[in-house]
């Protein structure tokens, strides 16, 4: 999460250049939020080691939300990460104990209550994500997890593809923005906002690599002016960094076991 935060530039998002399209968030607040969630992430791994199931993870996640909101004075900095990263870390813990693919474990766990979560979202529509699901059918983090974390895996692949570049995180973010149905963009700008971000991300992705960073900074200014923030893509970047690190860690652990 810290690597995602400090990746710069990120159009419309908090980074080292500016606070993007956000008036209530900045780098220090995100760092404080991330630090507050470390115990929860450790708990998620331990629950996975025992394959404890969704209910204990959900309880731990709700407690982590309260911890986050206390640290940020009520600002929602990482609620999506509590859900998505918690699932992936649980999957990694399960893979360490029982073998198999960590992401597949995480997706299988997500499927156990994904339908219930989405039905509850339709019934209550008390969150931005729930309203977007009602209005646009975009399933957000719940759908991403239940469908096997496709875009998080894709982001990890793009990070690997950009390995050796000066700014692989920013380049991978652009690639994800092209393909992701970003709930944050739909919330802030509707279909037009999502289309604007996707079309410009595609335009930048097709530029020579040495021109993309300057183009991203120009898009940052435009998205701030339009109050657009691709928070879903930012989440995929954070998860991509995690999956990229997991590839190395799991490979090293396998070699030690052999």
* Residue 227 covered by a domain: yes
Average pLDDT of the chain, as a whole number: 93
Q: Are residues 78 and 153 in the same domain?
A: no
Rg (CA), the chain: 18
* pLDDT value of residue 140: 78
How far is Cα 250 from Cα 102, in angstroms, rounded to an integer? 10
Q: What is the pLDDT of residues 58-82, one digit of tens each?
A: 999 999 999 999 999 999 999 999 9
User: DSSP string spanning 41-90?
Assistant: HHHHHHHHHTT--HHHHHHHHHHHHHHHHHHHTT--SSHHHHHHHHHHHH
Q: What is the pLDDT of residues 193-222, one digit of tens each?
A: 999 999 999 999 999 999 999 999 999 999
Q: Are residues 104 and 147 in the same domain?
A: no
How far is Cα 219 from Cα 215, in angstroms, rounded to an integer? 6
Q: Are residues 146 and 41 in the same domain?
A: no
pTM of the full structure: 0.93
* Residue 152 covered by a domain: yes
* Residue 61 covered by a domain: yes
* pLDDT value of residue 258: 47
Average pLDDT over residues 231-250: 95
Q: What is the pLDDT of residues 118-144, one digit of tens each?
A: 777 766 756 766 676 666 666 778 999
pLDDT at 115 over 90: no
Min mean pLDDT across 80-94, 124-138, 142-156, 165-179 is at: 124-138
How far is Cα 155 from Cα 177, in angstroms, rounded to an integer? 10
* pLDDT value of residue 125: 57
Alpha helices in 79-182 (DSSP H): 79-98, 102-111, 114-124, 128-136, 140-146, 150-161, 168-179
Q: Are residues 191 and 87 in the same domain?
A: no
pLDDT band at residue 248 under the 50/70/90 scheme: confident
CA 143, 178, 127, 90 dihedral sign is positive
The larger pLDDT score, comparing residue 134 to residue 161, is at 161
Q: Are residues 155 and 229 in the same domain?
A: yes
Q: Are residues 179 and 241 in the same domain?
A: yes
Number of domains, the chain: 2
* Residue 15 covered by a domain: no
**CATH for 237:** 1.10.4200.10
Q: Are residues 154 and 249 in the same domain?
A: yes
**Domain range for residue 188?**
137-258
pLDDT at 251 over 80: no
């Amino acid at each position: 999460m810290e690597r995602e935060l400090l990746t710069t530039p990120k159009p419309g998002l908090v980074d080292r250049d500016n606070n993007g399209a956000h008036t209530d968030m900045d780098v220090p607040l995100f760092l404080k939020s991330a630090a507050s969630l470390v115990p929860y992430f450790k708990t998620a791994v331990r629950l996975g080691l025992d394959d404890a199931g969704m209910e204990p993870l959900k309880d731990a996640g709700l407690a982590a939300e309260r911890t986050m909101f206390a640290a940020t004075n009520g600002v929602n900095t990482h609620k999506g990460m509590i859900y998505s990263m918690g699932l992936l870390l649980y999957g990694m813990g399960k893979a360490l104990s029982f073998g198999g693919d960590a992401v597949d474990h995480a997706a299988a766990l997500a499927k156990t209550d994904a339908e219930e979560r989405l039905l509850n979202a339709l019934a209550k529509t008390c969150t931005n994500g729930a309203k977007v699901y009602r209005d646009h059918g975009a399933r957000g983090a719940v759908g991403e997890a239940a469908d096997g974390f496709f875009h998080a895996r894709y982001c990890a692949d793009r990070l690997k593809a950009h390995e050796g570049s000066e700014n692989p995180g920013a380049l991978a973010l652009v690639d994800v923005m092209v393909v992701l149905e970003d709930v944050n963009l739909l919330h802030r700008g509707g279909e037009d906002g999502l289309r604007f971000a996707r079309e410009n991300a595609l335009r930048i992705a097709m530029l020579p690599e040495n021109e993309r960073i300057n183009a991203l900074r120009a898009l940052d200014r435009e998205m701030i002016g339009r109050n657009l923030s691709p928070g879903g893509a930012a989440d995929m970047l954070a998860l991509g960094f995690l999956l990229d690190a997991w590839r190395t860690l799991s490979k090293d652990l396998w070699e030690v076991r052999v």
